[in-house]
């Protein structure tokens, strides 16, 4: 496969940009990968570990001559970045992003881009609970989905080039409409994260159980929640503020269901509970069959590599 871009610029050097930089360079998918982060400390670390071919000290410099510019900053920071880079973008360049929310990003970023630039938003469904320039690794996207969310009338060649890049670093790609993307992610990611954050907070608040007990005896269940709840606070704040309606809709349904299960516990309705738990088991089987996870009995064991 020939390199789809001569120069790729990554803005925001956290887990996603760092992993993209390492993966793109390893696969030889760009002539040069430039990088910029707002924080001088992050830029220093990125230089020290050789994350990109070149780390730049300004937004104007990092996008200069770039064929692809990828915004890898929290969703709430994208509008400011778009406004600043707009005048410096090369005509014919593609601007993309990796935000977990798509409608809000399209509305925030789109208006600041010149007509001669293609805007193709995207969202890689991959991550860890770690963040920062040292957290990236080239294999992050392997076997994972990246959703491409082209606005109406997007240039087909620009969309395909972006798909080629993501596939080149190991991802599967699918196209999805922005509002539907935001609903799907509210179900599969945003609501679960908020729920995990909440449960971890409750555990911490409960005075009759000490923190050390919670930590020491955090058996199956709670440990997975804490892993989720350790994710980057700024990123997640912006996700919830920018996917408000879909998240609140899902949480509303969640609360309804939870109340029904609580009622079953209170009234001793074991049949209701058993039927519910049997149904959820089948969904897990579907996920394993779809190849999104393994069947290895690691849960509750911490046998993670």
**Sites for its own copies among residues 102-131 (CB under 8 A):** 125-130
Q: Quick one: CA torsion of 158, 160, 163, 168, rounded to 10 degrees?
A: -110
- The string over 165-195, giving b where at least 16 C-beta atoms fall within 10 Å of a residue's C-beta and e elsewhere, is bbbbbbbbbeebebeebbbebbeebbbebbb
How far is residue 289 from each of residues 144, 253, 280, 283, 284, measured CA to CA in Å?
15, 27, 15, 10, 9
Binders in 175-194 for its own copies, by CB under 8 A: 183-185, 187-194
Binders in 193-212 for its own copies, by CB under 8 A: 193-206, 208-209, 211-212
* Residue 219 interacts with its own copies (CB under 8 A): yes or no: yes
Alpha helices per DSSP H over 28-67: 40-48, 59-63
* Residue 274 interacts with its own copies (CB under 8 A): yes or no: yes
* Residue 96 interacts with its own copies (CB under 8 A): yes or no: no
Residue 266 CB, nearest distance to its own copies (Å)? 6
Residues found in the chain: 305
Binding to its own copies by CB under 8 A, coded x per residue (else -) over 224-263, reads xxxxxxxx-xx-xxx-xx--x--xx-xx-xxx-xx--xx-
Stretch that binds its own copies, among 38-46, 83-91, 108-116, 215-223 (CB under 8 A): 215-223
Binders in 63-82 for its own copies, by CB under 8 A: 76
d(CA 110, CA 242): 15
Q: How many residues bind its own copies (CB under 8 A)?
A: 112
Binders in 139-178 for its own copies, by CB under 8 A: 139-140, 143-145, 147, 174
d(CA 167, CA 143): 9
Stretch that binds its own copies, among 5-13, 59-67, 82-90, 138-146 (CB under 8 A): 138-146
């Amino acid at each position: 496969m020939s390199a789809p871009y001569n120069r790729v610029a990554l803005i925001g050097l956290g887990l996603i940009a760092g992993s993209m930089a390492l993966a793109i360079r390893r696969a030889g998918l760009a002539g040069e990968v430039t990088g910029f982060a707002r924080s001088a400390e992050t830029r220093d670390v990125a230089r020290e570990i050789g994350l990109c071919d070149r780390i730049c000290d300004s937004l104007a410099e990092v996008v200069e001559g770039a064929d692809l510019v990828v915004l890898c900053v929290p969703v709430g920071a994208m509008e400011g970045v778009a406004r600043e880079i707009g005048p410096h973008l090369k005509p014919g360049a593609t601007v993309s992003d990796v935000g977990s929310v798509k409608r809000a990003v399209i509305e925030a970023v789109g208006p600041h881009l010149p007509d001669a630039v293609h805007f193709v938003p995207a969202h890689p469904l991959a991550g860890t609970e770690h963040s920062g320039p040292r957290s990236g690794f080239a294999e992050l996207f392997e076997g994972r989905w990246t959703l491409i969310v082209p606005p109406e009338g997007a240039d087909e060649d620009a969309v395909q080039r972006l798909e080629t890049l993501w596939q080149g670093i190991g991802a599967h790609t699918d196209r999805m409409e922005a509002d539907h993307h935001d609903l799907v992610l509210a179900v599969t990611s945003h609501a679960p994260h908020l729920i995990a954050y909440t449960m971890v907070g409750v555990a911490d608040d409960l005075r009759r159980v000490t923190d050390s007990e919670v930590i020491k005896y955090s058996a199956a269940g709670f440990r997975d929640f804490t892993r989720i709840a350790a994710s980057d606070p700024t990123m997640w704040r912006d996700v919830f503020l920018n996917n408000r309606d879909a998240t609140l809709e899902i949480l509303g349904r969640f609360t309804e269901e939870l109340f029904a299960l609580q009622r079953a516990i209170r009234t001793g309705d074991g049949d209701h509970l058993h039927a519910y738990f049997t149904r959820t088991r089948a969904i897990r089987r579907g996920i394993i069959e779809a190849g999104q996870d393994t069947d290895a009995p690691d849960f509750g064991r911490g046998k993670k590599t």
